[in-house]
């Protein structure tokens, strides 16, 4: 091998063995995390587990989640009944258990407890959401 070839070969090895600088796009600054919202104390205990009820200025707020057989479910709350409505008939749906977040405002005249019937077209999950209200003054806003 000639000295010039050895020099070129050494230079080529040096270039190939040197790591290339990483091409990293500048990332925007992380958005500021939202400030925590004070949580109202529970106004009672609910069945099924996972549902909560809190006292509000207007009455009570019932919140939780119900599992549904497919994504795309919605709900309405009318005349004291929670009605679950599935996706439109005839649309293709994946069959995967999903969770539907529920938030319902209830009147202040709930007495000792509330019971909300759940109307749905599938045969599992809760048929009723019941909450027993605390009667102590500490849960008042």
**For 102-129, what is each residue's pLDDT tens digit?**
999 988 876 778 899 999 999 999 999 9
Rounded distance, CA 42 to CA 53, Å? Answer: 6
What count of residues does the chain have? 141
Rounded distance, CA 34 to CA 37, Å? Answer: 9
pTM of this structure: 0.64
DSSP class of residue 140?
A: -
Question: pLDDT tens digits for 42-97?
Answer: 888 999 999 999 988 888 999 999 999 999 999 999 999 999 999 888 887 788 89
Q: Is 8 left (phi over 0), alpha (psi -120 to 50) or beta?
A: alpha
């Amino acid at each position: 091998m000639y000295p010039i070839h050895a020099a070129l070969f050494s230079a080529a090895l040096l270039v190939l063995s040197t790591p290339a600088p990483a091409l990293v796009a500048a990332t925007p600054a992380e958005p500021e995390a939202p400030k925590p919202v004070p949580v109202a104390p529970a106004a009672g205990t609910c069945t099924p587990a996972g549902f909560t009820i809190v006292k509000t200025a207007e009455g009570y707020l019932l919140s939780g989640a119900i599992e549904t057989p497919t994504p795309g479910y919605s709900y309405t709350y009318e005349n004291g009944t929670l009605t679950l409505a599935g996706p439109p008939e005839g649309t293709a749906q994946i069959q995967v258990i999903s969770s539907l977040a529920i938030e319902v405002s209830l009147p202040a005249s709930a007495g000792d407890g509330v019971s909300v019937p759940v109307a749905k077209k599938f045969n599992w999950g809760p048929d009723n959401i019941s909450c027993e209200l605390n009667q102590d003054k500490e849960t008042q806003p």
